[in-house]
């Protein structure tokens, strides 16, 4: 008896978000990173060509995960009707809280990627592009907060303050990984205190004195 031909099942569309999701699940289920792209693709039923359409290596994929965390935070903030009216301090505070909300949703993976994989300092390399995005965000806020003062000390403040804010963020990140308080409330306290420090830096006389001393020492 003749039967109607069945259409072959459509392959699920593959994009960068899909591959990232497969990778995060893969490392958590196996408690280890795939040895290479071939094994990762084979285990997850995708073609290598699909992988290389979006990433040129597993390292690039790991870095992009952190970029996605930052981009998701920016998207969430932009969706708030009140965000553009926030002060620079509140914008930075919102960024911190939003990022850590996203990290909390992915805490098991973040913990594995930063600590549980026992790769030590190599883990920080995965944050390289995230760090660039973070520093650009901080510098833009500082310029908007006090553009005249920032112009006068631009060459010093850009590397010093943005890198200082980044180091401070890493400290908070480490604190959050170890935080066992309910709802990570201790991390929230650390975030608020840290943001107060970063935003107030340009308004402190000691900073101006430090810059003057630095200029003197550099010239002499």
Residue with more model confidence, 188 or 153: 188
32 CB-side CA count, 13 A:
5
pLDDT on residue 21 = 97
Tens-place pLDDT, residues 54-79:
999 999 999 999 999 999 999 999 99
Tens-place pLDDT, residues 4-29:
455 544 556 789 999 999 999 999 99
CA–CA distance, 122 with 183 (Å, rounded to integer): 29
- Banded pLDDT at 217 (limits 50, 70, 90): very low
Radius of gyration of the chain (CA): 22
Could you state, in order of their start, the residue ranges of all structural domains in the chain?
13-56, 63-219
Q: Provide the 10 A C-beta neighbour count for residue 207.
A: 18
Closest C-alpha to 153, from 215, 89, 99, 88? 215
Place of tokens 């998701």: 72
Closest C-alpha to 24, from 125, 85, 105? 105
Listing DSSP states for 132-164 in one string gives HHHHHHHHHHHHHH-HHHHHHTHHHHHHHHHHH
CA–CA distance, 137 with 97 (Å, rounded to integer): 15
pLDDT on residue 102 = 98
CA–CA distance, 32 with 117 (Å, rounded to integer): 7
CA–CA distance, 90 with 81 (Å, rounded to integer): 14
Report pTM: 0.82
Answer positive or negative: Cα dihedral of 128, 73, 118, 43: negative
User: Can you tell me whether residue 106 is helix, strand or coil?
Assistant: coil
pLDDT on residue 202 = 54
CA–CA distance, 40 with 53 (Å, rounded to integer): 15
What do you get for the CA distance between the two ends of the chain, in Å? 97
- Banded pLDDT at 51 (limits 50, 70, 90): very high
Mean pLDDT of 33-54: 96
- Banded pLDDT at 1 (limits 50, 70, 90): very low
pLDDT on residue 142 = 74
Among 12-16, 60-64, 104-108, 118-122, name the one with the lowest average pLDDT.
Answer: 118-122
Tens-place pLDDT, residues 78-99:
999 999 999 888 999 999 999 9
Closest C-alpha to 172, from 79, 81, 104? 104
CA–CA distance, 214 with 220 (Å, rounded to integer): 10
CB 38 within 8 A of CB 63: no
């Amino acid at each position: 008896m003749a039967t109607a031909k069945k259409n072959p099942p459509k392959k699920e569309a593959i994009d960068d978000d899909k591959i990232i999701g497969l990778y995060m699940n893969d490392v958590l289920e196996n408690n280890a990173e795939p040895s290479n792209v071939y094994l990762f693709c084979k285990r997850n039923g995708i073609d290598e060509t699909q992988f290389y359409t979006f990433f040129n290596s597993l390292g690039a994929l790991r870095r992009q995960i952190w970029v996605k965390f930052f981009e998701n935070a920016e998207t969430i903030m932009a969706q708030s009707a009140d965000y553009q009216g926030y002060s620079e301090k509140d914008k930075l505070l919102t960024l911190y809280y939003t990022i850590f909300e996203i990290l909390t949703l992915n805490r098991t993976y973040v913990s594995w990627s930063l600590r549980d994989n026992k790769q030590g300092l190599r883990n920080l390399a995965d944050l390289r592009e995230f760090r660039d995005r973070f520093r650009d965000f901080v510098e833009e806020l500082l310029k908007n907060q006090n553009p005249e003062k920032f112009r006068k000390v631009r060459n010093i403040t850009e590397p010093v303050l943005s890198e200082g804010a980044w180091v401070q963020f890493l400290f908070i990140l480490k604190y959050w990984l170890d935080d066992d308080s309910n709802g990570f409330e201790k991390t929230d306290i650390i975030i608020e205190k840290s943001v107060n420090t970063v935003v107030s830096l340009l308004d402190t006389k000691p900073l101006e004195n430090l810059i003057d001393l630095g200029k003197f020492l550099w010239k002499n």
